[in-house]
Amino acid sequence: MRFNRLIPYTLGRRPPNMLRSVAQTIAWSIRRSLTLIALMPATYAWAAPTDQLWAHWSIHDVQSTASVDHQPWQTLLSRHVLASDDGINRVAYSNFDESSKPLVNQYLTTLSNIRPTELNQTQQLVYWINLYNALTVQVVLDHPKKDSIRSMGPLLSFGPWDKDYLTIEGKRVSLNDIEHRILRPIWQDHRLHFVLNCASIGCPNLSRAAFTPANIEDSLAQAERSFLQHPRAISFNDKGILQLSSLFDWYLEDFAENESALLVYLAEQRPDMAERLLVYPIGSRPNIDYVYDWSLNTVDPK
């Protein structure tokens, strides 16, 4: 919006019709922005945050034997996360009752009162992943009328990921902080993308099991296998065009040096597709169709 023509006027002297014009312009701009957000396609391209270490959270206690109780989160997952015939885990958000809703809040409060820098690294890894997933569920529960997490953030924002929901060790922490300033730069493990859930159909499954130090390594490996076996991760359409999850576009650097190397990685994970993947043409023209379904991963679509 341009207001340079209004500079000579003070607010008290500005003609009423001009005030109405400014108000109408602002209102129109807001409506237009909201409309554009509503019309964004499911595969809307966006710039994913780069990993940038938040140094405070790299501190850990190698000798620590302290543990975190994730049983409340396990209780919630057992109650409300359901495996579907199509291989996608869905969440029965509408079934969160007066016992489940407080349990989510209590679990998040408990985790936010813990000092993760006093834990060993394995405990920290499990702590941050479970916290991320539980907080995402809480965000959805706070927006019962929304059908995509993209519309659950502050006004005119693309999703809730930059909002500071929690205070941990006196520091305000957002979902993006957890993923891109803590987990990715500290652990540098591409499999993290397969266990962090963003409440969307296109995202890897929300695990029905809470992560623990005892199961985390097997869970990371299983999550990678499961997602890469599903068509929403990798498939060929009727025209022979390779379709990949947008995760591999947004976070290519976490998986491989370039698209050619990415296809080598995928071929290793999918021997049944290896022959087609290894000869698939990569050139100056975009030959890969990156797709992502932002529809809410709910049992009962809105």
Instruction: Give which of 255, 248, 249, 183 is closest to 216, Cα–Cα.
Output: 183
* pLDDT at residue 285, rounded to an integer: 62
Which residues form the domain of 250?
50-302
132-170 per-position pLDDT tens digit:
999 999 999 999 999 999 999 887 778 999 999 999 999
pLDDT tens by residue, 183-226: 999 999 999 999 999 999 999 999 999 999 999 999 999 999 99
Residue 286 predicted with pLDDT over 80:
no
148 assigned to some structural domain: yes
The reply to whether 7 falls in a domain is: no
What per-residue confidence (pLDDT) applies to 188?
97
Residue 204 lies in a domain: yes
Q: What is the mean pLDDT of the chain?
A: 87
Q: What percent of the chain has pLDDT over 90?
A: 78
pLDDT of residue 172: 98
More reliable by pLDDT, 29 or 67 = 67
Each residue of 51-81: pLDDT tens digit?
899 999 999 999 999 999 999 999 999 999 9
Secondary structure, 3-state, the chain: CCCHHHCCCCCCCCCHHHHHHHHHHHHHHHHHHHHHHHCCCCCCCCCCCCCCCCHHHHCCCCCCCCCCCCHHHHHHHHHHEEECCCCCEEECHHHCCCCHHHHHHHHHHHHHCCCHHHCCHHHHHHHHHHHHHHHHHHHHHCCCCCCCHHHCCCCCCCCCCCCEEEEECCEEEEHHHHHHHHHHHHHCCHHHHHCCCCCECCCCCCCCCCCCCCCHHHHHHHHHHHHHCCCCCEEECCCCCEEEECHHHHCHHHHCCCHHHHHHHHHHHCHHHHHHHHCCCCCCCCCEEEECCCCECECCCC
In a domain, 14, yes or no: no
Specify if 175 maps to a domain.
Answer: yes
25 inside domain: no
Please give the pLDDT value at position 155: 79
What is d(CA 292, CA 302) in angstroms, rounded to the nearest whole number? Answer: 19
Any domain includes 135: yes
Which position has the higher pLDDT, 280 or 19? 280
In a domain, 12, yes or no: no
pLDDT tens readout for residues 225-250: 999 999 999 999 999 999 999 999 99
Domain count, the chain: 1
